[in-house]
Structure 1
């Protein structure tokens, strides 16, 4: 039996843009926590560190879809070059402002401008789509990208904090900025795999967020992101309460590993079930597996429950992005993918806040009730949106291409 992952990398240029894209997306995980580590160590003020980091993250969540919309209209290189230059320059200014003790307003101004950082995962998925549009290999490519995203979030944050603690406060942000600069440059220079710009069809103007499938999937994944963040916050709180705070990183790592492994397996399968039904099943599994978390009162049980809870995360992302590819007009693909990723990020921010509030007021174990509620809302959203996500005729396919099974 052939390895489906080996097959997708036989496409000309695939190895190059995938490798460059991996490096360029590391700042997604490194920058937010890197800003906190840098400012908290250099200035000793956690509230300021958190505020500057939140300014960057929330602004990027709003700006990235607009940048991706321009990418769909003008092409990756024409938009990514100026956006990346502004972001790299702003990150450099933020590092300098921290090191030289510049006024506080310069920290916030730099964070605002740094938020022009493009959504590299969306750009990479757009290239895979250009190569494998309406072919089963696209599912494998999306699975690989979901696994890559998992690796980024597993390794990026720990590397950023580790560098800042081991070397000097600005080290994590410096390395993150270098990854963004050189990774993006390598990605942009690979013009042979850049998706061609497609004209906007009649009635297809405006933003991708006005498309019903994008709204449904983005809203559902806001709550999936909340589950992801709640697991991290609650794991830290519970292991501390149990007198084993060092076990938190192990528990969180198990969560990500479960999602990573199952995602790779799903990507290797050529499932025939309609994508909207696959999404409903994956989200249903996530919702059900939040329940054992409520009774996990030892580190071993917590690790086991968290592992089980994470197994359907990657399959959810894989099918969600697959639906975006099929249900959104081709001229809006990059923006559509970016809105979904923005939803995940917003959910993680809201989930961390909600879980922290519940833990502070009702105890560490009760933090997982946020996961239960979020899982239920996400499942209801997907179930109610099944007819829309089935999407008969939402995007016309080439006449010679096989129609996706519904």
Structure 2
């Protein structure tokens, strides 16, 4: 049986843009923790450090979708260098202000401007979508990207703390700026896989895509789902400290990412016939239910076990949400819509961590877990109420009846089987065309073949 993850990287340029995208997305979580560590070391004021780091995070959550909105209209190659340049310069100015003892307000101004950092996770997903739109490989690509997100959010904060404490306080933000600049510089020149700018439809209002019902409801669902992950960050630290070994908090973070990563990879290898709105309800239900065992935790081992189970539902739910976004959003607004999903998640993590911290300080560790339970309940309510609406939008976009049991619906097993046969025939035809063109011209296929399955003898290009 072919490895589905090897298969997605057979597309020309896939390995190159994915690697460059990984390098460029490490700075986001590294910058937040780097600012926090740098200012706590240089000023000794944890409140100030938290506020400035929070300013960057929420600025990124708001400005990131605006950058992606312009990307949808102008293209990645024209927008990413400008947004990256402003963000890198602002980060450099923030380091300078922190080092020279500049007025406090300057820290907030440059943290705010640093939030123009582009959402590279959305940029990478946009390229996968352009290559595999309407094909099963897209689900595998989205699953892999969710696992990559998990890895970056485990590796980057730990690396930031290590750099700023072992070398010098400004080391982590400096490294984040360098990684962002290098990653984007490697990513942008890869024109073969860059999504072309899609023409706007006649019915398009020009309003931000977040005002559309599917995008808004899914972003809110991720906001409350992210609050659970934020609670894990705060409570892992607080609970480990209560148990007398603060260093064990790293184990809690790693186990959560491990559970999410394993399930994400497994989910990407499956070819399910369940409608996406139903999968969303299943995933969010699992996420909500797995918050209840937190009330029974009484040691760090139990905490790690519960966190692992809670993480199992995270990545698959993220994959399902991205799949719904891809199918319900006009192509000319897709990057912006995906960025709103990531922004909702990031905002939820920040809010969950902050609220959990306040609750722990006021009422004790046990009550901190109530934040996750409440967030899970709200996320489940949002998923249940939005599922019928999402099904209608999916049906409208595909020109099909809204009922998931209708024979014409792609969720129907028989129809899906027929579609797979059609895809197989289409892929075989494309492979023959690619072989003929290769024989005739001798060199490489043009950009138009990016979305088809390459011939097995082709070696993916770095561009």
TM-score range, shorter chain: over 0.9
Which residue pairs with 1:385 in the alignment? 386
1:334-371 per-residue CA deviation (whole Å, 9 max, x = no partner) reads 00001111111111121112211221222102211111
Which residue pairs with 1:289 in the alignment? 290
Find the aligned partners of 1:392 and 1:18 in 2 and give their Cα distance: 28
Which residue pairs with 2:397 in the alignment? 395
Structure 2 residue 335 is the aligned partner of structure 1 residue 334: yes
The answer on whether the counterparts of 2:327 and 2:394 sit within 8 Å (CA) in structure 1 is no
Distance 1:347 1:282, change over 3 A: same
Unaligned runs of 5+ in 1: none
Within a 5 Å distance, the mapping from 1:64-79 to structure 2 comes to: 64-79=64-79
Find the aligned partners of 1:159 and 1:334 in 2 and give their Cα distance: 29
Please identify, of 254-263 and 362-371, the stretch whose mean Cα deviation from structure 2 is larger.
362-371
How far is the alpha carbon of 1:47 from its aligned partner? Answer: 2.0
TM-score by length of 1: 0.96
Find the aligned partners of 2:397 and 2:377 in 1 and give their Cα distance: 30
TM-score by length of 2: 0.85
SS at match of 2:266: helix
The answer on whether the counterparts of 1:222 and 1:344 sit within 8 Å (CA) in structure 2 is yes
SS at match of 1:395: helix
Structure of higher CA gyration radius: 2
How far is the alpha carbon of 1:394 from its aligned partner? Answer: 4.0
Find the aligned partners of 2:52 and 2:127 in 1 and give their Cα distance: 33
Find the aligned partners of 1:145 and 1:392 in 2 and give their Cα distance: 23
SS at match of 2:176: helix
Which residue pairs with 1:117 in the alignment? 117
Which residue pairs with 1:199 in the alignment? 199
Please identify, of 158-167 and 53-62, the stretch whose mean Cα deviation from structure 2 is larger.
53-62
1:108-166 per-residue CA deviation (whole Å, 9 max, x = no partner) reads 22112111111111111000000000100000000010000001001000001100000
Structure 2 residue 363 is the aligned partner of structure 1 residue 362: yes
The answer on whether the counterparts of 1:328 and 1:394 sit within 8 Å (CA) in structure 2 is no
Which residue pairs with 1:10 in the alignment? 10
SS at match of 1:385: helix
Which residue pairs with 1:351 in the alignment? 352
The answer on whether the counterparts of 1:234 and 1:365 sit within 8 Å (CA) in structure 2 is no
The answer on whether the counterparts of 1:32 and 1:57 sit within 8 Å (CA) in structure 2 is yes
How far is the alpha carbon of 1:392 from its aligned partner? Answer: 3.9
The answer on whether the counterparts of 1:72 and 1:332 sit within 8 Å (CA) in structure 2 is yes
Which residue pairs with 2:411 in the alignment? 405
Find the aligned partners of 1:351 and 1:394 in 2 and give their Cα distance: 35
Give runs of ≥4 in structure 1 deviating > 6 Å.
Answer: none
Distance 1:35 1:389, change over 3 A: same
Within a 5 Å distance, the mapping from 1:260-271 to structure 2 comes to: 260-271=261-272
Find the aligned partners of 1:74 and 1:394 in 2 and give their Cα distance: 28
SS at match of 2:271: coil
